[in-house]
């Protein structure tokens, strides 16, 4: 995790917030009372990551970006490094165009996350978690519970959840991404939100009494 | 107050104390790694687990658990022992078994506590984690596999030193303590993280693999590389000083030590004067003591007292200063001066040149004005005390002088001494803050005094102190911050020009024909007139020795028993740890021996007799280590007209913290520090 040891990538020489980021950061900093700007560090790091995505196509947080956050929020740089490295959501090195985040926590695993991982591997040529495909399009990481267990397994691409995945759906999704398309996120099995697959299965024969006729 | 029973001992402790503090009071030691009484509580090592009756039935970390009335605590029950064994087993999972080659071995908290709570075998068969070592600069060596993540170093650097360079990055098994982006630690107090590290993760780089702690003889002494008077312990083996560590003295240094004072000791072995030298026909040659004394005696004979002078340097012990003063007096000379930098210190009254508030007193102050000083570079340990007061009470601190990061919030009032006049006139915003303060402090640095208008600034600062109520019967808020360890002692002994005596400046400018330099190196030797015969008595071949006609090899502070008066005016005594090299002798004995060769034998044969005489001259030398605090009832200021201030900006006399005296200038470690601080961000690998 050390930025300076064994890094095979180059850190940009400088980083400055662009106009979009400035608007965002002003909005976030304004949420906190004077002297407590450090509270804005996590959203500010997201802003850096998004700006890198806009500017370089790769969503990650360079050291200079963390320094810029520290300078803006009046924090010593090391305090920003600590936060940024603590959370997996901040990529400390460049990633591919699409960030494939496979949930492998128990519910997803029971519902077939192994197949999702396997398909990601075979489709992209990535060998292990944390790697980027040779064409620079995909980076696959292993994440802990994404909180969508009811639609397990989940494959999160950048900020979007693709739910109810299986090998075939992953292949299709990756092919679409390669074509530059962004399929609508959500359940890939076609169900509505977390409703049962294939329509309602319970309470579908229940007749409700008209209002006002029960009780009293 | 709350009554707490710990292992059957009932103690009364202040409300809000932790169980661990209460146990200390009861005389029960609780093992700990992360807890440190001078740092914030982290509670992450879990070694201090205890059992508390009627509390949740689980082990409780005593370092962070406040006491309650009637609490009953067991620190050695079966449950406690089991819990601590469990913690120890976890700590040792990733800790390497390299005690035999670890510099911490023998003085390691983990090693000691593993004797009590460790197992004789491991149940852990998996791979240990490996952590790359960090490069923290030339002083602190890291061995990060040994780190147990107590975060003491992070808290010290952030809280006490105020230079937040260290942090814990990543998390869980991947957590690492370090700077993340490789760089040398920027603090002048960084060496203290070696002391507070409970394991061997942070050790001294220059001391790496030098000695084992049990081989060293330990001598109590006083640091002389700044004027704080830090209490130190000199660890030596044979003739070598191998290590210098701080001693605890709550009134002076708490338990901290500046990096220069800790690491400049390799300068004690280099460029040493180990035999007398005599210059004949422009060329120096090694000589015997008799020859050297004869050369000086011959030169001295035809001279009258007013053509003889002496300048005392910054590292001298009070004993040799008095011996030199007595020698000059016996020769009929009043040309003596200890202010080689030309500081316009007024020796008329003791509180004109002392740090009267005292170092511990800083914590009581409610406003501070710093004039022409950079305490961070001039006295880092004292600076940490100012930071402590600032952190605790958020006191306003004003600075007149070069704007710089002092590790605490400072209102920069300007660089020119005229700000003092504005403050006195009340036409400055900060004037109101000082006036409203109950216990204001004004700190005048040597940068404000060692300049032509020094006495005016001293007088102006005093006048301001009197005006804002810094001088009252129970509070003395006028302070002079010294940079030279010998200065206050020399002033206490009256080592300043007597009636019709010449100042250091006049003596150097040809005012005397024979000039005796007692370890005086802090000036350009070219200032000494060409036909002046210079005797240099000291321990390093520095500026003074290069100009000298006769060199008398003296002892460094580790090689003699000496008394030093720190900037507060606290007399403290250091003891001899090792012998001086070669023919070098303790300085007062050199002066005593020389006095006999010219028939002016000084009236003391033992250091005790000399110290008796010191005590007669000034009673402060009779109360070693003790500093009575006085208020100020006499508002008469030091000599000087507060009106004649120049426009020259105030600067600190310490341009480079790591190079201030002959010892640090001879030290390769200090040279490495200078280099790494010139380029703080070392090239990334």
| Domain residue extents for chain A | 19-86, 98-182
Report the topology of domain A19-86.
Arc Repressor Mutant, subunit A (1.10.10)
Contact B169 A76 (CB under 8 A): no
Q: Does B575 touch chain A (CB under 8 A)?
A: no
Query: For residue A192, what pLDDT band results from cuts at 50, 70 and 90?
Result: confident
CA distance B422 to B414: 11
The residue in chain A having the minimum alpha-carbon distance to the alpha carbon of residue B132 is A5
- Is B683 in CB contact (< 8 Å) with chain A? no
The CA distance from B574 to B218, in Å, is 12
Q: What is the pLDDT of residue B680?
A: 52
Alpha helices, DSSP H only, in B118-202?
152-155, 192-196
Chain-chain contact of B180 with A79 (C-beta, under 8 angstroms): no
Give residue A214's pLDDT. 64
Return the pLDDT at A165. Answer: 94
- Partner-chain contact B169 A77, CB within 8 Å: no
Q: Is B595 exposed, middle or buried (0-12, 13-18, 19+ CB in 10 A)?
A: buried
Residues B685, A5: C-beta atoms closer than 8 Å: yes
Verify cis geometry, omega within 30 degrees of 0, for the bond prior to A153: yes
Quick check: A81 and B167 CB within 8 A?
yes
Distance (Å, whole) CA A22 – CA A131? 32
Q: Which residues fall within 8 angstroms of residue B518, CB to CB, at 6 or more apart?
A: B310, B311, B312, B313, B316, B320, B321, B324, B537, B538, B554, B587
The per-residue pLDDT for A203 is 79
Q: What's the helix, strand, coil split of chain B in %, to 5?
A: 35, 20, 50
Summarised one tens digit per residue, pLDDT across range A113-141 is: 999 999 999 999 999 999 999 999 999 99
Grouping H, G, I as helix, E, B as strand and the rest as coil, residue A157 is strand
| Per-residue burial over B372-404, b = 16 or more CB atoms within 10 Å of its CB, e = otherwise | bbbbbbbbbbbbbbbbbbbeeeebbbbbbbeee
User: What are the residues whose beta carbons fall under 8 Å from the beta carbon of B70, sequence distance 6 or more?
Assistant: B2, B3, B4, B5
The residue written with tokens 């006002």 in the block is A212
CA B49 and chain centroid, separation = 36
Closest Cα in chain A, distance from residue B107 (Å): 30
Nearest chain B residue to A2 by CA distance is B180
Nearest Cα residue to B236 out of B256, B261, B217: B217
Could you give the 3-state DSSP secondary structure of residue B572?
strand
Distance (Å) from the alpha carbon of A7 to chain B's nearest alpha carbon: 9
pLDDT tier at A207, thresholds 50, 70, 90: confident
Q: pLDDT of B604-623, one tens digit each? A: 999 999 999 999 999 999 99
Which residues of chain B carry a pLDDT beneath 70? 679-685
Rounded Cα distance between B567 and B458, Å, is 16
Q: Is the dihedral of CA B2, B4, B9, B14 positive or negative?
A: negative
Percent of chain B with pLDDT over 90: 95
Instruction: In whole angstroms, give the CA distance from residue B358 to residue A133.
Output: 66
The CA distance from A73 to A41, in Å, is 7
Helix (H, G, I), strand (E, B) or coil at B587: helix
Contact (CB<8Å) A2/B176:
yes
pTM of the shown model:
0.93
Residue B164 contacts A, CB cutoff 8 Å: yes
End-to-end, the C-alpha distance of chain B in Å comes to 56
Report the C-alpha gap between B480 and B628 in whole angstroms: 17
Tens of pLDDT along A65-79?
999 999 999 999 999
Q: How many whole angstroms separate alpha carbon B330 and alpha carbon A149? A: 96
Q: Indicate the SS3 state at residue B3.
A: strand
Interface with chain B: mutation pick from A1, A61, A70, highest number of B CBs within 10 Å: A1
The Cα B243–Cα B236 span in angstroms is: 7
How many Cβ contacts (< 8 angstroms) between chains A and B?
A: 49
Q: Which residues pair with B475 in a beta bridge?
A: B472
Give the ipTM of the model, two decimals please: 0.90
pLDDT tens digits, one per residue of B380-414? 999 999 999 999 999 999 999 999 999 999 999 99
Q: Between B429-436 and B418-425, two packed helices, what is the crossing angle to 10 degrees?
A: 60
pLDDT given at position B587: 97
Are residues B525 and B546 in contact, defined by beta-carbon separation less than 8 angstroms?
A: yes
Distance between CA atoms of residues A24 and A199, nearest Å? 41
Q: From the candidates A4, A12, A63, which should be mutated to test the interface with B, based on the most B CB atoms within 10 A?
A: A4
- Residue among B194, B256, B261, B197 at smallest CA distance from B383: B256
* pLDDT computed for residue B312 by the predictor: 97
SS (HEC) of B370-414: EECCCHHHHCHHHHHHHHHHHHHHCCCEEEECCCCCCCCCCEEEE
Q: Is B143 helix (H, G, I), strand (E, B) or coil?
A: coil
pLDDT for res B682: 47
Q: Looking at the partner chain, which of A1, A6, A63 has a beta carbon nearest the beta carbon of B176? A: A1
- Contact residues on chain A for B167, CB-CB shorter than 8 A: 78-79, 81-82
**Closest residue, chain A, to B182 (C-alpha):** A4
Reference B662, options B537, B493, B490, B494; nearest CA is: B537
What does the pLDDT read at residue B685? 33
Q: Are A11 and A3 in contact (CB under 8 A)?
A: yes
Q: Which of A4, A77, A78 sits opposite B182 (nearest CB)?
A: A4
The CATH homologous superfamily of the domain defined by A98-182: Glutaredoxin (3.40.30.10)
Q: What is the average pLDDT score of chain A? A: 91
Residues of B in contact with A81 (CB under 8 A): 167, 169, 180-181
Residue B662 backbone class (left: φ over 0; alpha: ψ -120 to 50; beta: rest): alpha
């Amino acid at each position: 995790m050390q930025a300076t040891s064994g890094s095979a990538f180059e850190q940009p020489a400088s980083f400055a917030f662009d106009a979009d980021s400035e608007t965002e950061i002003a909005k976030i900093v304004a949420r906190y009372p004077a002297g407590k700007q450090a509270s804005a560090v996590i959203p500010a790091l997201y802003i850096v990551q998004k700006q890198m995505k806009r500017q370089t196509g790769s969503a990650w947080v360079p050291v200079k970006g963390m320094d810029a956050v520290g300078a803006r929020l009046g924090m010593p740089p090391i305090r920003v490094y600590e936060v940024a490295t603590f959370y997996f959501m901040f990529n400390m090195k460049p990633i591919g165009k699409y960030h494939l985040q496979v949930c492998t926590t128990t519910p997803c695993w029971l519902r077939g996350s192994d197949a999702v991982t396997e398909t990601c591997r075979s489709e992209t040529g990535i060998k292990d978690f944390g790697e980027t495909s040779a064409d620079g399009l995909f980076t696959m990481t292993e994440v802990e519970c994404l909180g969508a267990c009811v639609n397990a397994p989940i494959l999160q691409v950048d900020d979007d959840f693709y739910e109810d995945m299986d090998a075939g759906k992953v292949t299709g999704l990756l092919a679409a991404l390669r074509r530059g398309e962004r399929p609508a996120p959500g359940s890939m099995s076609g169900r509505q939100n977390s409703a049962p697959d294939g329509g309602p299965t319970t309470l579908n024969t229940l007749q409700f009494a008209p209002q006002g006729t029960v009780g009293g | 107050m709350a009554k707490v029973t710990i292992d059957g001992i009932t103690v009364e402790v202040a409300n809000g104390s932790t169980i661990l503090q209460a146990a200390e009071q009861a005389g029960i030691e609780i093992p700990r790694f992360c807890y440190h009484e001078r740092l914030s509580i982290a509670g992450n090592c879990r070694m201090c687990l205890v059992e508390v009756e009627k509390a949740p039935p689980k082990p409780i970390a005593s370092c962070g658990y406040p006491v309650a009335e009637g609490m009953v605590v067991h620190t050695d029950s079966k449950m406690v022992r089991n819990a601590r064994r469990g913690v120890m087993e976890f700590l040792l999972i990733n800790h390497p078994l390299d005690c035999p080659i670890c510099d911490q071995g023998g003085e390691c908290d983990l090693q000691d506590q593993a004797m009590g709570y460790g197992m004789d075998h491991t149940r852990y068969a998996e791979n240990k984690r490996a952590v790359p070592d960090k490069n923290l600069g030339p002083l602190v060596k890291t061995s990060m596999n040994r780190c147990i993540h107590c975060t003491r170093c992070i808290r010290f650097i952030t809280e006490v030193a105020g230079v937040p360079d260290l942090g814990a990055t990543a998390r869980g098994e991947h957590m690492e303590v370090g700077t993340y982006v490789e760089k040398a630690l920027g603090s002048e107090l960084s060496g203290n993280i070696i002391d507070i590290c409970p394991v061997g993760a942070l050790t001294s780089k220059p001391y790496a693999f030098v000695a084992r702690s049990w081989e060293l003889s330990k001598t109590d002494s006083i640091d002389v590389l700044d004027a704080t008077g830090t209490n130190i312990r000199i660890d030596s083996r044979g003739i070598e000083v191998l290590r210098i560590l701080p001693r605890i003295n709550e009134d002076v240094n708490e338990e901290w030590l500046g990096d220069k004072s800790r690491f400049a000791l390799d300068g004690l072995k280099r460029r040493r004067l180990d035999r007398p030298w005599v210059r004949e026909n422009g060329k120096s040659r090694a000589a015997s003591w008799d020859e050297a004394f004869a050369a000086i005696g011959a030169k001295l004979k035809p001279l009258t007292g007013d053509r003889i002078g002496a300048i005392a340097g910054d590292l001298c012990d009070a004993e040799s200063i008095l011996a030199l003063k007595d020698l000059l007096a016996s020769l009929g000379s009043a040309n003596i001066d200890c202010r080689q930098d030309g500081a316009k210190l007024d020796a008329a009254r003791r509180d004109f040149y002392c740090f009267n508030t005292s170092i511990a007193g800083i914590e009581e102050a409610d406003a501070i004005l710093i004039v022409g000083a950079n305490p961070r570079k001039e006295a880092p340990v004292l600076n940490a005390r100012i930071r402590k007061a600032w952190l605790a009470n958020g006191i306003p601190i004003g600075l007149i002088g070069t704007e710089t990061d002092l590790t605490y919030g400072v209102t920069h009032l300007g660089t020119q001494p005229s700000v003092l006049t504005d403050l006195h006139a009340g036409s400055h915003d900060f004037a109101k803050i000082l006036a409203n303060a109950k216990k204001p402090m004004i700190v005048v640095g040597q940068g404000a005094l060692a300049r032509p208008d020094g006495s005016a600034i001293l007088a102006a600062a005093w006048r301001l102190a009197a005006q804002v109520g810094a001088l009252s019967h129970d509070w003395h808020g006028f302070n002079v911050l010294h940079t030279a360890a010998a200065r206050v002692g020399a002033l206490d002994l009256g080592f300043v020009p007597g009636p019709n005596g010449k100042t250091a400046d006049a003596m150097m400018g040809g005012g005397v024909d024979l000039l005796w330099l007692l370890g005086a190196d802090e000036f350009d030797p070219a200032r000494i007139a060409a036909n002046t015969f210079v005797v240099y008595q000291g321990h390093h071949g520095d500026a003074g020795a290069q100009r000298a006609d006769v060199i008398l090899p003296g002892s460094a502070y580790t090689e003699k028993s000496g008394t030093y008066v720190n900037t507060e005016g606290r007399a403290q005594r250091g003891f001899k740890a090792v012998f001086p090299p070669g023919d070098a002798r303790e300085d007062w004995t050199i002066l005593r021996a020389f006095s006999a060769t010219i028939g002016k034998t000084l009236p003391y044969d033992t250091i005790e007799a000399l110290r008796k005489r010191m005590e007669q001259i000034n009673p402060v030398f009779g109360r070693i280590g003790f500093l009575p605090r006085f208020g100020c009832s006499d508002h008469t200021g030091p000599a000087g007209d507060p009106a004649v201030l120049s426009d020259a900006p105030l600067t600190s006399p310490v341009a480079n913290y790591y190079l201030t005296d002959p010892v640090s200038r001879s030290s390769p470690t200090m040279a490495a520090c200078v280099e790494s601080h010139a380029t703080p961000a070392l090239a990334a690998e």
